[in-house]
Structure 1
Amino acid sequence: MASRTRVRSTARNTLLLTLTSALAALATGCGSTDSKGDGGSGAQAKRGKPVVVVTTTWEGAFAKAAGAQDVKVIVPQSVHHAPDYDPKPSDLAAVASADFVLYAPFEPYAAKIKEAAGSKAELVEVALDNDADKVKAEVARLGKLFGTEAAAAKWTASFDTEYGLVAKDVQAAWPGGKSPAVVSQVFSTWSAKLAGATTVGTYGPEAVTPAQLAELSAKKPALVLDNAHMSTGTVLPDSGARQVEIVNYPGADLDLLPVYRNAGAELKKAMGKAG
């Protein structure tokens, strides 16, 4: 496994180094400035219209919520595990003209992309978590960084309204009017909070061990909230718990709100069957 990882890493580094010279030439050819001597993207950033390149739709949705209008997503939605993606020349060209490059800690190639592209963009690590409070804090932070605080505040107000409606709807579906006991994958705990569920245990991101299986099954959860992007199959077989696949990544429209609506619908469906 380690050798395969080294081979993949070596191949990716070779690709990035090979493209560096070509992108440097591209940057030279496209490096015109305005009358004040500022690059076009830099001027946009100062006007609160930053050019933002993001690794996935998840970071893209955070950027859009924060007020960014010019957002380029590198990793296609068809790629289930972002760290396995190998950047293309067009990806690096996009980075070369960006004001900001947004990435997550588990996407280690982001810094190499920026270096290979010769970009002066600011590399911004985003804490990807759909917990409502964490989302709002991150959107506010990005809005301040982009100079789009007003847009970020407006989005947050609409988010609070929508989140409240979804949470109320899901919690009205509690079996017997009682908060269900759930086991959550560590990156899906936000959905338990949305449902007002009682979390009796968590697992992951590693596969559940036999000891964990026995421990979690003994908690007698009604639901298992799995991570659709890292699923290893049925988590607690023979436990009687109904498994719900929670999707964290937004769609191509970079809209976070459907993530909550869809999770709410799946939770209601599962609780109805569990009841």
Structure 2
Amino acid sequence: MARTRVRITSLLALSAALVLVTGCGSDSDSSSRSGTEGKEGKPVVVVTTTWEGAFAKAAGAEDVKVIVPQSVHHAPDYDPKPSDLAAVAKADFVLYAPFEPYAGKIKEAAGSKAELVEVSLDNDADKVSAEVARLGKLFGTEDVAAKWKTTFDAEYAKLSKDLKAAWPGGKSPAVVTQVFTAWSAKLAGATTVGTYGPEPVTPAQLADLSKKKPALVLDNAHMSTGTVLPDSGAKQVKVVNYPGEDLDLLPVYRNAAAELKKAMSGS
């Protein structure tokens, strides 16, 4: 996702947290990290956000600890706490995204032997299926991941069919989408005529995108820059990428579909 800067305060908080964890921990704490700690012997997984958590849950992980609270929309701005490091110290796997640069520092500071796994966070259906299958193999839960994919494929097909039936005049709507919400355009079968972001739209981009006369603008709720194409007549649709605290990925698609259908219906 977007290029980000690690705040000095984050690093200071991490250093302070390290002192607390190492001061309170013991050899038995660090040596107890094992998949047997998880439910029914399944791996203990620590994830930076609910997005990685949803991927892990879909892949079959049952013991999942989320570090960054859902209320924090921009994960790299989060300051790790001592309890976060304590959770990492007992994990089998730590899942993170490339734009969360403190993940490696968390693992190092906690002295964890967990496997650090980079996850490609993209809700494109094909990419999600590939990542869930990869994680399922990594966790040893391939059967759960395969069952989830069957459910996901059926739900995705249903939502996509419903959205296509809602096309205004029976024609695929032209859309401009933020680069990290392109998956929702694909879900709707919309025709993408331009993309923007993650940086704010420049005057030149604004002029170019407006000329393409999109019916909809798909905005990333977590990186919104406000109204993208003012005075263009295009309806702006807010798309949420992150799942809720239940770590269920399917509502992300259902909610996006509902917003898109509402926008296409003119209501």
TM over 0.5, shorter chain: yes
Q: Aligned residues: percent identity?
A: 77
Structure-2 separation of matches of 1:251 and 1:91: 19
Q: C-alpha offsets along residues 221-259 of structure 1, whole Å, 9 cap, x if unaligned?
A: 000011010011110001110000000000000000000
State the match for 1:183 in structure 2. Answer: 176
Identify unmatched segments of 5+ residues in structure 1: 34-38
Structure-1 separation of matches of 2:141 and 2:37: 12
Structure-2 separation of matches of 1:30 and 1:131: 42
State the match for 2:249 in structure 1. Answer: 256
State the match for 2:10 in structure 1. Answer: 12
Number of residues of Structure 1 aligned to a counterpart in Structure 2: 262
1:123 to 116, 127, 132: 116
Structure-1 separation of matches of 2:142 and 2:25: 30
Question: Conserved in 1, the CA contact under 8 Å of 2:30 and 2:112?
Answer: no
Identify unmatched segments of 5+ residues in structure 2: none
- 1:130-141 mapped onto 2 (5 Å cutoff): 130-141=123-134
TM-score, normalising length from structure 2? 0.94
Structure-1 separation of matches of 2:42 and 2:33: 11
State the match for 2:97 in structure 1. Answer: 104
Structure-1 separation of matches of 2:218 and 2:23: 49
Structure-2 separation of matches of 1:30 and 1:81: 35
TM-score, normalising length from structure 1? 0.91
State the match for 1:31 in structure 2. Answer: 29
Question: Conserved in 2, the CA contact under 8 Å of 1:224 and 1:242?
Answer: yes
Q: C-alpha offsets along residues 79-123 of structure 1, whole Å, 9 cap, x if unaligned?
A: 111100001111111111000010001100111111111111111
Shift of 1:29: 5.2
Please, what is the CA RMSD of the aligned residues?
1.7
2:239 to 246, 271, 275: 246
- 1:20-169 mapped onto 2 (5 Å cutoff): 20-28=18-26, 30-31=28-29, 39=32, 41-43=34-36, 49-169=42-162
Structure-2 separation of matches of 1:136 and 1:184: 22
Correspondence 1:223 to 2:221: no
Q: C-alpha offsets along residues 130-185 of structure 1, whole Å, 9 cap, x if unaligned?
A: 00000000000000111111000000010000101111111110000000000000
Question: Conserved in 2, the CA contact under 8 Å of 1:48 and 1:147?
Answer: no
